[in-house]
Amino acid sequence: MPIATPETYRAMLRRAREESFAFPAINVTSSSTILAALEGFSAASSDGILQVSFGGGEFASGQSNKDMALGAEALAEYANVVAPRYPVNIALHTDHCPADRVDGFIRPLLEVSRRRRERGEMPLFQSHMLDASNLPMAENLALATELLGACSELDIILELEIGIVGGVEDATDNTDVDRSKLYTSPDDMARVSETLGTFDRGLYLLAAVFGNVHGVYKPGAVRLDPKILRDGQEEVEKRFGRGARHYLVFHGGSGTSVEEIHETIGYGVVKMNIDTDCQYAYTRPIVDHVMVNYAGVLKVDGEVGDKKAYDPRSYLRKAETGMTARVVEACETLKSSGMTLG
């Protein structure tokens, strides 16, 4: 199917909220990782989301360019070419853009979408994420309000974050952040609705935090409190009505138990970011390949090696297969398997 239209993306999110499942949002950095994710969604008969962070965009732009918007645009264009061969709906999203990178990442991509809309085409990305959680709440919401207006004009959804996800994401290091900032209050969730509206000024997604930490940790190392999401949604409903309940996003979920993930879905999580686990699933088969084919890959002791062993296709396809399996697992965990809109 072609990349999801704005209408299809909204239908995907509404259905997820109504039927209590969530979409895996898979970070991609190359054509290879895009294919791995698409294969996974297809195998699971799940619609899904491909997302590009500013670091992923910079990587994809080339060693000399280091242009985050250019790389993101290139990855989105590639996805537009190959996604129609897969029988699922795929939305494109940009992930974690700090306030100081908005001018170099989100705004240029909005301009690309504006030109596309003027030609009667869809926006390049169906949603963008502003992560201004390091700013005071008022400044965060002021910038989010501005971007929500710009996105809505182009039929694009905005995602924002309140509170801080710990750990490291791209160049953002929150490993030493005050733990109190890792938990969003009910008042903060209601304040988002009060400031951005109850979807009357455009649909938006909210990454509220409940102890989430980017990266991967052993069981027990991260203290999650999913009931924060429940309490926040109840406060929003009390003030603005049931229809105002947020479309929530789960960040920093590596190492989270299935039970905790299902609990968050029950509170309105419709999208969960899957990055670190897919990185490992992609890289592990490459390491296995090199270790098994050591002499062939490295031309040991002056020998000629084995061209089949060091041909990138030989190990990248294995990497894709490993990542595909992790995407299928994510779809099963988030209950999106078999739920494609068709």
Active site residues: 95
Report the 10 Å Cβ neighbour count for 301: 6
For helices 137-153 and 106-118, what crossing angle results, to 10°?
20
Measure the CA angle with vertex 260, ends 256 and 264; round to 5°. Answer: 115
Query: Tell me, what amino acid is at 249?
Result: V
Measure the CA angle with vertex 208, ends 16 and 27; round to 5°. Answer: 65
Q: Which residues contact 186 (CB under 8 A, 6 or more apart)?
A: 228, 231, 232, 234, 235, 236
Closest CA to 284 of 45, 36, 75, 58: 36
- On whether the CB atoms of residues 160 and 204 are closer than 8 A, the answer is yes
* β partners of residue 32: none
Q: What are phi and psi of 247, to 5 degrees?
A: -85, 105
Q: Is 263 exposed, middle or buried, given 0-12, 13-18 or 19+ CB atoms closer than 10 A?
A: middle
Q: How far is CA 338 from CA 33, 84, 88, 271, in A?
A: 22, 18, 10, 16
The DSSP output letter for 166 is B
